[in-house]
Structures are given as C-alpha cells and as structure tokens.
Amino acid sequence: MAILRFEDGTTYTNLEDISKTLAPLNVALNYWTVGNNRETRNLLNKAALSDEEKETVLQALDGYFEEMKQKEGYQARDLIVLHPNIPNLDAMLSKFERCHTHADDEVRYIVDGEGVFGFVLKDKTQVELTIGPEEYINVPANTEHWFHLTEKKRIKAVRYFITTEGWIPEYTETVVRFPQGVMS
C-alpha cells in the first residue's frame, strides 16, 4: 500500500489523495496485479532469482509491457532484484539517494518488496512515497526526485525503458531533507 509522507509528518494512504498531491509533477501511480499464477508467485517469494527465473517473471507480466509498447513507445524492460546479500548494495544505491533528474521517464512496477521515491514539489517542499507490491509508478523525465530502499532492503521491480540507455542521473543542487530509512 502506497504511503505519502510530508515533511511535517502528515501521511496519506488513499491513492486518490496521493495522486492529487503528485499530479502537478505528472507522476502516475497505479495498482497492477501480478495475478495468481503459482509459478510466478513462488518466484516472487524467493530472495534471489537466476536470469532464467527473471525472464519467466517478465514473460508472465508482459501483457503490461505490450500495452506500454503500443501506447507509449516503450522499447525494453528488465527485472531488477535487490536484497541485503548483494555485494556492495549500499554503494550501488547511493547514486540514486541524491536529488536528480533523468532525460527519460523512470517507470517501475514493484512486484515484491518496497522502495521510496522522494519528490520536490512545485512549492519546493519535499515528500516521500513508499510503494510496494503490485504498485506501478511513472516519474516523468526531468522530474526532480530521489530513490532509496526501506530498511528491509528488498525489492523486485520491472523497469520499463523508452531508450535502451536506461536512466542516467543528472544531479541537482537540492538537498534531501528526509532522513534515510525512516519509512520501513
């Protein structure tokens, strides 16, 4: 369940309230089911996945990808699987914990675990959005944001790309005012 937290501690859990707050940034948040396929569910319960297992999960969810290819021109997708036992996980994630933008939309469909996206609103206040299983987010190109994992440090997310270069962070001077790891 998505949770939007403001700097003053106010939280929203209603998707409509969250969407209304993020609307000026054109951030899209939605709920997409992973379905009831037993094999897919079993794979999502595993901490780590082989490349073959990742592809099995991706193929099970490719209905969403096909729709995005046709409607919005997406070209590629992958499944990122992060968990506490990955060597140098903190170093890998640190490049996204600073405020940045991307030239391409950042699109993720969380299928297991959870992550936190932070945003700078138009009035320069900041919010953090924790999203979890079966939640989809599209952070439009050039939207000032940051990302980190919750204290569980576990996530499986399908990432969708318009270009095959992926997301290259372009750092801004904005200082993130939220302490890391508060939303768990």
Q: Which two structure tokens, joined as six digits, stand for 168? A: 């290259």
Annotated binding site for Fe(2+): 100, 102, 106, 145
Annotated binding site: 100, 102, 106, 145
DSSP string across 9-69:
S-EE--HHHHHHHHGGGT-EEEE------HHHHHHHTSS---HHHHHHHHHHTHHHHHHHH
Amino acid at 102: H
Annotated binding site for Ni(2+): 100, 102, 106, 145
DSSP string across 115-148:
EEEEEE-TTS-EEEEEE-TTEEEEE-TT--EEEE
| Beta-bridge partner residues of 70 | none
> What's the distance, CA 46 to chain centroid?
19
8 Å CB contact between 26 and 106: no
